[in-house]
Amino acid sequence: MTEPIREGYTEANGLRFHYLAAGSPGRKLVLFLHGFPEFSGAWRAQLAEFGRDHLAVAPDLRGYNLSDKPQEVAAYRAKHLVEDVRQIAARFTDGPFVLVAHDWGGAVGWNFAAAHPELVERLVIVNSPHAIPFARALGHDREQQKASAYMNLLRGAKAERVLSENGYARLVAMALEQWGAAPVDRGAYIEAWSQPGALTGMLNWYRASPLYPPTEDDPGAAKLALDPAAFTVRVPTLVIWGMSDTALLPTLLDGLEACVPDLRIERIPEGTHWIAHEQPERVNGLIRRFIAA
């Protein structure tokens, strides 16, 4: 039986967060973190599936849709995003939970699991690179630098204007058209992007991060000296990767086991960055088998 999806609000880390949820309170929490340029509604297929026997929750992350949107760039640094997740999860459970995350949500998921392994029973990452191989690739891999060049556009001052032009045509093309979003979904995404302050909030994730490709006068991630020990993830982890992702190349998986000792990787050759939208039943099945193991 498909679980109805409900919505609500919760306070965490000094902000008000909107969320979607399915399933009964008291069950094992599965917390879903979306990426750019998505919002909580990106996980509807997963909420319906895992709400059948878990408490499945997907918040709008800070800056997105109906959650609060600090306008200063510093509010989007990693430490704040990790603390958001800790406090949001604590509103729904007092024990360890399953964390499922994609894209920028995955960046937070990696950091959260490294910082709070006692709170993460299982970690599932969908097409989101771990900081250590991503920093290395952004600093030294020409192909990944080329694939990530768009990040410098999104960090720039004109990004809001460029992305909002012609009814958010560029965002529609880079995301919704790639996975063939239905018209009703397109409307929901455009409504989310149109919330006051949302576009700036979404872009501030890029502006606050030290992980970006080089420019003529800035070495970008190459100037970082990350301590691998601080980013080691010591929880059972499943990585689902659409191998046809043109923004995050499959080479980002190389050597990942050095950062994640208990690691499983599921490679989907025909999948893109949007594999959870393209093949939701397959992704749900992979997640379910992993968290039941």
Active site residues: 103, 206, 273
- Within 10 angstroms of residue 271's Cβ, the number of other Cβ atoms is 23
**How many angstroms separate the CA atoms of 164 and 76, rounded?**
21
Residues with Cβ < 8 Å from 113, sequence gap 6 or more? 99, 120, 123, 233, 235, 237
Q: Count the Cβ atoms, other than its own, within 10 Å of residue 182.
A: 10
Structural contact between residues 130 and 107, judged by C-beta atoms closer than 8 angstroms: no
Three-state DSSP class for residue 140: helix
> From the CA atom positions of the chain, what is the Rg in Å?
18
Alpha carbon distance 290, 293 (integer Å) = 5
Cα-based angle 227, 89, 18 (whole degrees, multiple of 5): 110
| Of 86, 73, 138, nearest in space to 114 by CA | 86
Q: Measure the CA–CA gap between 64 and 79, rounded to whole angstroms.
A: 18
- Residue 48 corresponds to which amino acid? A
